[in-house]
Structure 1
Amino acid sequence: MPAGRAFAVLPEKCIVHRHILPKLESIRKQALESGVISCSFRRNPMTEKQDSTPKKKSMISMVGRPNVGKSSLFNALLRKKQAIVMDFEGVTRDRRFATATVEALNDRKVKVCDTGGWMPESWRRGREDQEMLHNIEIQILKAFEESAVIVLVMDIRLGPTSLDEDIVRYIRKLNMPFVIAANKADKFNETYQMHEFYRLGAEDVIPVSAEHRQGIEEFWHRIEKYLPDEEEVIPELPTYRIAIVGRPNVGKSSFLNLMAGEERSVASALAGTTTDSVDIELERCGVKFRLVDTAGIRRHAKRKDDVEDLSVMYAKRNLDDADLAFLMVDTKEGITSQDSRIAKMVEESGCACIVLANKWDLAPQDIKSASADATRKFRESLEKDWPFLEFAPLVAISAERGKVYGATPGQDAIDPEGPWRLPDRIEDLWNFALDMLEARNKEVPADELKKVVEEAFDVGPNWVDQLGDFRRIHQVGTRPPQFLIHVRNANDIPEALRRYLKRVIRERYGYRGNPIRWVFKHNGER
């Protein structure tokens, strides 16, 4: 082959499966060895779409200064309590998305975004929390990029403040449509100074009472003209909920941003930065993932205020609703008793679990290593403290660097049940998690379950007398996988038999990464 350049043409919508990539790389190397200077794979330009007309945006974003009721209005539009609401500023810090089903618009679905309290640069200068306020502003400006209209929330009782007016001046520079939601109009028979709001140049001023949910229907009718003529049709895909849990400042928000590929959650070295759960929908591996960054879970004695109590309650609720948990620990500081409490909460929730040993690059020298041996030793130490979480794989990472450590191809550093390919890149965590999530949906026929129990007698002959005459073995749940067996005396089942049945079921039917529940009941008991 003469020296030169070569490329392969791929269709525009060609999806290359991960297992094909090594083959493509092999082809490229063969071409280079044959004298080709460079070799690459390109999209076929003949299949590019010529119509580059941007889609009309369909989201509305709630913005405004701190403590004017943005989150209260967000909850009122959704007709449910989804955001934490308190009587002081600084509770909401990240963008929060949800889809409202609008009865006033024939059950049309509209995406709504709640944002943190906005303070332009001149207002936050010199404050202790100015870095936090700057990060909140970045989140607000990103929300604008996706918005059809900006809803600027103000307090109708106070009228426009100087901070409100500065925010209006900023918005008007963006040349975007905005309306004012004059909140806290609790008494509709009272006269308000509406002209004070109209002089700000908004396209509309809509009085509402988020607390009493008054004026909400009128709000939607007046917002409708900013929405696309046709509701966006979103294809139905399987959706899995993944909760990122851990104590404060272990790197949960940094990890969410890494997985999302953008600064989606405000991350800071200050513990307690995330106060409310932040969730984002991502399409990966042909399915939808709803990734939820929860507030750090502290011991009750160390919580500072009611906001933190509510944050922890919401974090537990998100964990209970999750299909899988990324349990994050800080290897720089080491495992604490609070890590153990959170790990127990994960096991009790029944979701699948991946333990992420974050800040591996900053861990003490006796732990830190890029080898599989180091992660294996760390896993073994965890097993002593967390025997109830023995099913969960461990992946050593650095969310700040975007790296995975200790994953040797073909070798499993953490799973005691045999070889299991660990992800060697952060982006491989999606497929790794999906394999675990799909596995938990398997159902095992009753006759196969009976064989598993009968085989146990060959392993432990003395179990026969303790188990007695067993009947009606069947699977009663998949999330988590749960199996029911009726025995002579449920109180006499040895712990070794319980562990054996869990291990065999997990190995044989691919339930790795998932807790297994075996429920023993007395014969005749329902």
Structure 2
Amino acid sequence: MALPVVAIIGRPNVGKSTLVNRLCRSREAIVHDTPGVTRDRTYQEGYWADRTFRVVDTGGLVFDDDSEFLPEIREQANLALAEAAVALVVVDGQQGCTAADQSIAEWLRGQGVPTMLAVNKCESPDAGLAMAAEFWGLGLGEPFPISAIHGAGTGDLLDKVVSYLPPTEEDEGEEPIQLAIIGRPNVGKSSLLNAVCGENRAIVSPIRGTTRDTIDTTIEREGKTWKLLDTAGIRRRRSVSYGPEYFGISRSFKAIERSDVCVLVIDALDGVTEQDQRLAGRIEEDGRACVVVVNKWDAIEKDSHTMPAMEKELRAKLYFLDWAPMLFTSALSGQRVQAIFPLALLAVEQHRRRVTTSVVNEVLTEALSWRTPPTSRGGRQGRLYYGTQVAVRPPSFTLFVNEPRLFGETYRRYVERQIREGLGFEGTPIKLFWRGKQQRDAEKELARSQTRGR
């Protein structure tokens, strides 16, 4: 059963994202002095007493201005309210009640959603009560004086919040699959998310840096629950100044780390850039499963030979992701966007797959019969005794040999190719660890010494 939603609403710079981090005991929401940092609606999980709920952070609401992003921010707030069990309105106690607060209160009264009022920046308990009293005139119920940055008053606030939440049932289902949408700015990540979800889940704009927070969305596909993580576009480090974009990119890298599978979005018009290669390398380095999605395919003039030719060209530059399936899509038209999920599910299954030692050694024996290990200039030949899978996520194998230095990169790549050809593992990187006899003897001696010392 889906968790009940608490929507955080308010004008810019009243401390909404700080309160979200406080309620969810995290630092996920980007907090910065600049107005308009939060644009899309972003979700985190919170809990209080025996209740668990989802907190949705929204952008700062402004009703008398239709400049850049403000209409889209209002649309995202509307969508947040549509699914909310309660709306928590945040105001600034130090600034007092403003015309913008009154506009938000008037708008909320027509939404039909239960509403609470949090008066933020009330660090002093005595002064906070006086600050909060000014907001009774908004007609949104009792104003709760709080300090989001220090936590004062948030316990009483949460006691009231959970009273609005419907009863929930324990969900015994499996954990959702975490799918991170990764790419440079303006390759169509947010458009892809919207096309997949069938709604305007994220703000889409040709302006670089529109998405700043990592946007979590939960949907059902292929009989599984997926948590989609739309991330900020990642530019070169030297191009990024310290501020909202810096924090957004940092969260994008964290999204890669916590994902089960990454969708690397490439712009079909630009092809593979140096930054795309860096992102691909980061995905492989972190050991994540991956699907490469080539977006804006509708903008390419093509015939029956265009797709194979372009795939060959793209793979030549993404050679370290040669194990990742590639899909040509158009987020604008919806072409093949739902085909992402079968490929992603296969990649996740392979990422978690374990193979018995006997099967691993059948593949290794076959590889040795086709190509023997190299011989050093001194006449020493490498010997591969046996191998075993030691981990999953990603699949990892330890190969026991006489001397790892005798196995150069060329032969190691050959063994990896043979393992892939014999065992599959489409959509996931694999790791090989080469252990020599001296390493094994040292480990055995260490184990003996530890046993004698007990």
TM-score normalized with structure 2 length: 0.91
Find the aligned partners of 1:334 and 1:438 in 2 and give their Cα distance.
29
Contact between 1:274 and 1:295, CA under 8 Å: does it hold in 2?
yes
Find the aligned partners of 1:174 and 1:455 in 2 and give their Cα distance.
68
The code of the aligned residue for 2:406 comes to D
Q: How does 1:479-494 map to 2 (within 5 A)?
A: 479-494=393-408
1:515 aligns with 2:447: no
Find the aligned partners of 1:190 and 1:470 in 2 and give their Cα distance.
75
Choose from 147, 151, 168 the match for 2:88. 151
The code of the aligned residue for 1:201 comes to G
1:401 aligns with 2:344: no
| Cα shift at 1:333 | 2.4
Per the alignment, residue 327 of structure 1 pairs with 264
Q: How does 1:126-165 map to 2 (within 5 A)?
A: 127=67, 129=68, 132-165=69-102
Q: Deviations over 1:234-255 (max 9, x none)?
A: 3413421111111000000000
3-state DSSP of counterpart to 1:242: strand
Q: Number of aligned pairs?
A: 436
The code of the aligned residue for 2:310 comes to F
Contact between 1:467 and 1:487, CA under 8 Å: does it hold in 2?
no
| Cα shift at 1:76 | 0.5
Per the alignment, residue 386 of structure 1 pairs with 318
Per the alignment, residue 309 of structure 1 pairs with 246
The worse-fitting range, judged by mean Cα deviation, of 454-463 and 315-324 is 454-463
Contact between 1:355 and 1:395, CA under 8 Å: does it hold in 2?
yes
Per the alignment, residue 43 of structure 2 pairs with 97
Per the alignment, residue 447 of structure 2 pairs with none
Return the structure number with greater relative CO, CA threshold 8 A, min gap 6: 2
Find the aligned partners of 2:412 and 2:314 in 1 and give their Cα distance.
21
Contact between 1:352 and 1:436, CA under 8 Å: does it hold in 2?
yes
The code of the aligned residue for 1:433 comes to A
Contact between 2:212 and 2:245, CA under 8 Å: does it hold in 1?
yes
Per the alignment, residue 343 of structure 2 pairs with 432
| Cα shift at 1:64 | 0.3
3-state DSSP of counterpart to 1:199: helix
| Cα shift at 1:473 | 2.0
Per the alignment, residue 25 of structure 2 pairs with 79
Find the aligned partners of 1:176 and 1:360 in 2 and give their Cα distance.
42
Contact between 2:92 and 2:119, CA under 8 Å: does it hold in 1?
yes
Per the alignment, residue 216 of structure 1 pairs with 154
Find the aligned partners of 2:2 and 2:113 in 1 and give their Cα distance.
13
1:451 aligns with 2:357: no
| Cα shift at 1:397 | 1.0
Q: What is the percentage of aligned positions where both structures have the same residue? A: 34
Contact between 1:160 and 1:197, CA under 8 Å: does it hold in 2?
yes
TM-score normalized with structure 1 length: 0.79
The code of the aligned residue for 1:116 comes to G
| Cα shift at 1:221 | 1.1
Contact between 1:238 and 1:287, CA under 8 Å: does it hold in 2?
no
Find the aligned partners of 2:265 and 2:399 in 1 and give their Cα distance.
35
Choose from 186, 195, 198 the match for 1:258. 195
Contact between 1:57 and 1:146, CA under 8 Å: does it hold in 2?
no
3-state DSSP of counterpart to 1:434: helix
| Cα shift at 1:467 | 6.4
Contact between 2:28 and 2:251, CA under 8 Å: does it hold in 1?
no
The code of the aligned residue for 2:149 comes to E
Find the aligned partners of 1:443 and 1:168 in 2 and give their Cα distance.
56
| Cα shift at 1:400 | 0.7
Find the aligned partners of 1:482 and 1:264 in 2 and give their Cα distance.
37
CA-based RMSD of the aligned residues comes to 2.0
| Cα shift at 1:98 | 2.0
Contact between 1:457 and 1:464, CA under 8 Å: does it hold in 2?
no
Q: Deviations over 1:354-401 (max 9, x none)?
A: 1111111223xxxx4253x32222222223222211111111111111
Find the aligned partners of 2:218 and 2:162 in 1 and give their Cα distance.
24
Find the aligned partners of 2:269 and 2:280 in 1 and give their Cα distance.
18
1:61 aligns with 2:61: no
3-state DSSP of counterpart to 1:473: strand
Could you tell me which runs of 5 or more consecutive residues in structure 1 were left unpaired when the two chains were aligned: 1-54, 404-424
Choose from 184, 193, 211 the match for 1:274. 211
Per the alignment, residue 59 of structure 2 pairs with 116
Find the aligned partners of 2:334 and 2:303 in 1 and give their Cα distance.
14
| Cα shift at 1:56 | 12
Per the alignment, residue 376 of structure 1 pairs with 308
The code of the aligned residue for 1:399 comes to A
Contact between 1:391 and 1:514, CA under 8 Å: does it hold in 2?
yes
Q: Judging changes above 3 Å, is the alpha-carbon distance between structure 1 residues 198 and 117 closer, same or farther for their aligned structure 2 residues?
A: same
Q: Judging changes above 3 Å, is the alpha-carbon distance between structure 1 residues 78 and 165 closer, same or farther for their aligned structure 2 residues?
A: same
Choose from 477, 502, 514 the match for 2:391. 477
Find the aligned partners of 2:371 and 2:3 in 1 and give their Cα distance.
64
Q: Judging changes above 3 Å, is the alpha-carbon distance between structure 1 residues 329 and 57 closer, same or farther for their aligned structure 2 residues?
A: closer
Per the alignment, residue 181 of structure 1 pairs with 118
